[in-house]
Amino acid sequence: MTLSAIARLVTDIILEYNNDMSIQNDLLELLQTPQFRYKGMPVNIFGLPVFKNYKRNSINTVFSRLKKKQYVTFEGSSLKLTENGKRFIAKRKARLQLFKSPFNRESPKNLLVIFDIPEVRKAEREWFRFHLRKFNYIMIQRSVWVGPSPLPEEFLDYLKHIKLIDCIKKFKLARNYKF
């Protein structure tokens, strides 16, 4: 891998960073992605550890928790991702399915969607908001959106499958929403 390719990879990783991911997920992802490594830790081209702007104390706490959950092991002076950790990452990545939008920008906005997804299901809530944006919905408030109807049937089936449908209410508008 050339130096510029590595720099692009690091830039892509930083740009793809999702503010809603926890430090734990970031650290597990960093351990899984191939980069320059020194004693098991990802490093930049200068050999410095690759961490975002986290406090050292936070990183130490997270490493301690990861070790306790057996997601990582410390072998000598290196840190390794265990099979348990790899399974956790794979399960997390595969957990929420992505859908294509059947709507175009000009579709009439005639469906009001209101949801109250609990804080403990934050990832699902962000996933749901992401798809509302993808379906060309407009945010009225953080949990009130208006957009084209009907929502795709396979999307609604998936919401039932992940037990999110009970947190969502849909209302058909008498007239199209004008913004």
Q: Where are the beta strands (DSSP E) in 13-102?
A: 37-38, 41-42, 72-75, 78-81
Nearest of 45, 50, 54 to residue 33 by alpha carbon:
50
Confidence of residue 115 (pLDDT cuts 50, 70, 90): very high
Show the CA angle centred on residue 42, arms to residues 27 and 13, nearest 5°.
65
Q: Which one-letter DSSP state was computed for residue 47?
A: S
Task: Answer yes or no: are the C-beta atoms of 113 and 147 closer than 8 Å.
Answer: yes
Query: Which residues are registered as beta bridge partners of 114?
Result: 144, 169
Confidence of residue 16 (pLDDT cuts 50, 70, 90): low
Given CA atoms 107, 113, 119, 121 in this order, what sign does their dihedral have? Answer: negative
For 97, 119, 137, the CA distances from 142, given in Å and listed in that order, are: 22, 13, 12
What does the pLDDT read at residue 68?
A: 92
Q: What's the CATH number for 111-172?
A: 3.30.70
User: Which residues in 130-164 are b (16+ Cβ under 10 Å) and which e?
Assistant: ebbeebebeeeeebebbbbbebeeebeebbeeeeb
Confidence of residue 94 (pLDDT cuts 50, 70, 90): low
Arithmetic mean of pLDDT, 161-166: 90
Confidence of residue 89 (pLDDT cuts 50, 70, 90): confident
Arithmetic mean of pLDDT, 116-135: 90
Domain ranges of the chain: 3-95, 111-172
- 117: its two tokens: 């997804």
Task: State yes or no: pLDDT of 18 exceeds 70.
Answer: no
Same fold: 3-95 with 111-172: no
Q: Tell me: domain 3-95, CATH 3.30.750, correct?
A: no
What does the pLDDT read at residue 80?
A: 84
Task: State yes or no: pLDDT of 47 exceeds 80.
Answer: no
Confidence of residue 162 (pLDDT cuts 50, 70, 90): confident
What does the pLDDT read at residue 50?
A: 67
Confidence of residue 86 (pLDDT cuts 50, 70, 90): confident
